[in-house]
Structure 1
Amino acid sequence: MDDCVVIAIHCGHCLAFCRPGAESWIAVGNYPYWFEDIIFYNGKLYAITSQFDLMLVELGSHPKVTSCSITPPKVELSFTSFYLVECLRELLMAIKCCTFKIFKLDPKGPCWIKIEDLDDQMLFIGTRIGFSLSALDYPGFKGNYIYFTDDSNNGLASVFHLEDSSSIETFSSNCSHSSPSLPI
């Protein structure tokens, strides 16, 4: 367990991490922008800011956060939230406005490329979590859909069909939760 680490977005502007046996959390910088999401992808830890700046997070003996200098996607800044998700070994950014916009990282660019189709893949996103699965492995689910929860609809689960950009449909389950921010 020596290689285990817990990292969190602390107060929006700071990242903090802790290792087993440590007596306190270690803050990594205090930035003028908000961190929106963090992800462990391709053997590295990344964070994304409210200005679409993808940051590499290094937690070695001298922790630091540096910009990856990725050209941001061309979107209006009237989004409500966005998420980093790994899908088929690619890094995606899902931006929720009234609908969803999905971008894939092109490391050769380096830039974000808008994608319109997830094929048989489904994205599951919510406060504190994001992952993808193939609908072929889960009867009753449909590919090219985004299943999500967020605070804007009191934590209810919703679904969005990416192909036709149909409206967001809210659905309820038989579960009752005390917190609207529970992960999926």
Structure 2
Amino acid sequence: MHINDSEKLHITKLIMCSSNLVAALVGIGHTSQILMCQPGALSWSVRAYNQCKDFQDMSFYQGKLYTVAKDENLLMVNISQDHSTGDPQVSRIGQVIKGDSPPWYSRVFEDNSKAYKKLYLVESCGMLLMVRRTIWCQVPEPGGDDKVMAGKNEFEVFEADFEHSRWVKVSTVGDDQVLFLGRRCSRSMSVSQYGLPGNRIFFLDDDEDNRIEYAYDEENTSFGIYSMRFRSIRSGAPNISWKRCAEMYLAAWLFPEDR
């Protein structure tokens, strides 16, 4: 499948790599491609023979563009210039870390539970982190008409070890750091100046309408907070919530310098 075969395209993530370069994950369903453009340009560039893949997230880290696929492979995106138009384009996507995704994500257990996952890339304190978010779901009995229902969330954090080409699991993100996770934007921030405890993960229920794999019991949603220290989750502010479906796609983290 190629990007030009799709009638309905969806922007998953947009990154300003520099003042002269913008990168985007664009696709449909569980497949996407990486597109490039210069600010102010009338079109995006994509190489016709680049196959669509299940890219989960993308990050611009230390002057290089990286993306992580569902198999947890970390890929580096090389960018060149089109000789005929001068436009930026993806010249090569090469693997820098081979993922070690647990095999049980495709398995339905005896109690009809099944694990789904989301992956996020976040730069934090000079490191590139991958966050593996597991959503445990209840699968209906064979032949049943019920939906797959989402349950509890679990989080694991890994640091990219480029020297040894591997992911290294970490038990903390720092006593002064909080990770804010979202499909559109993820970020690490120092929070002691705001009087907030660190070593936590704030996350959104950010399912996209064209790749929803499970349903929820509640009509409304908000944000959740995961403690790396206590391995526990609590809900966010009770007075902040929004309806699922169309409204939830507008949810985003706003940071002080963004105001």
TM-score of Structure 1 vs Structure 2, range by shorter chain: 0.7 to 0.9
Aligned-partner Cα distance in 2 for 1:74–1:163? 23
Aligned-partner Cα distance in 2 for 1:10–1:100? 26
Query: What pairs up with 1:1-184 in 2 under 5 angstroms?
Result: 3-11=19-27, 12-28=31-47, 30-61=50-81, 63-75=90-102, 76-77=104-105, 78-97=115-134, 98-120=153-175, 121-139=177-195, 141-151=196-206, 156-174=222-240, 179-181=247-249, 182-184=251-253
Closer/same/farther in 2, CA of residues 99 and 61 from structure 1, 3 Å limit? same
Query: How far does residue 69 in structure 1 lie from its aligned partner after superposition?
Result: 3.4
Aligned-partner Cα distance in 2 for 1:158–1:22? 38
Closer/same/farther in 2, CA of residues 64 and 143 from structure 1, 3 Å limit? same
Q: Name stretches of at least 5 consecutive residues in structure 1 with no aligned partner.
A: none
- Asked whether the equivalents of residues 57 and 183 of structure 2 are also in contact (C-alpha less than 8 Å), the reply is no
How many residues are aligned here?
182
Aligned-partner Cα distance in 1 for 2:121–2:188? 11
Larger radius of gyration: 2
1:118-169, Cα deviation, whole Å (9 max, x unpaired)? 2221101112111111232221x22110011123576511100111211343
TM-score normalised by structure 2 residue count: 0.63
Instruction: Point out the more displaced range, 87-96 or 9-18.
Output: 9-18
TM-score normalised by structure 1 residue count: 0.86
1:158 maps to a residue whose letter is G
Closer/same/farther in 2, CA of residues 170 and 30 from structure 1, 3 Å limit? farther
- Give me the identity figure in percent: 27
Aligned-partner Cα distance in 1 for 2:125–2:100? 21
SS of 2:192's partner is helix
Q: Name stretches of at least 5 consecutive residues in structure 2 with no aligned partner.
A: 1-17, 83-89, 106-114, 135-152, 208-215, 254-259
SS of 2:224's partner is strand
Aligned-partner Cα distance in 1 for 2:53–2:204? 24
SS of 1:127's partner is coil
2:222 maps to a residue whose letter is L
Aligned-partner Cα distance in 2 for 1:113–1:39? 18
Aligned-partner Cα distance in 2 for 1:173–1:93? 30
1:96-124, Cα deviation, whole Å (9 max, x unpaired)? 11210000011111100001112221101
1:53-102, Cα deviation, whole Å (9 max, x unpaired)? 21111222152242233131453534421100001000000111121000
Query: How far does residue 38 in structure 1 lie from its aligned partner after superposition?
Result: 0.7
Aligned-partner Cα distance in 1 for 2:170–2:156? 8
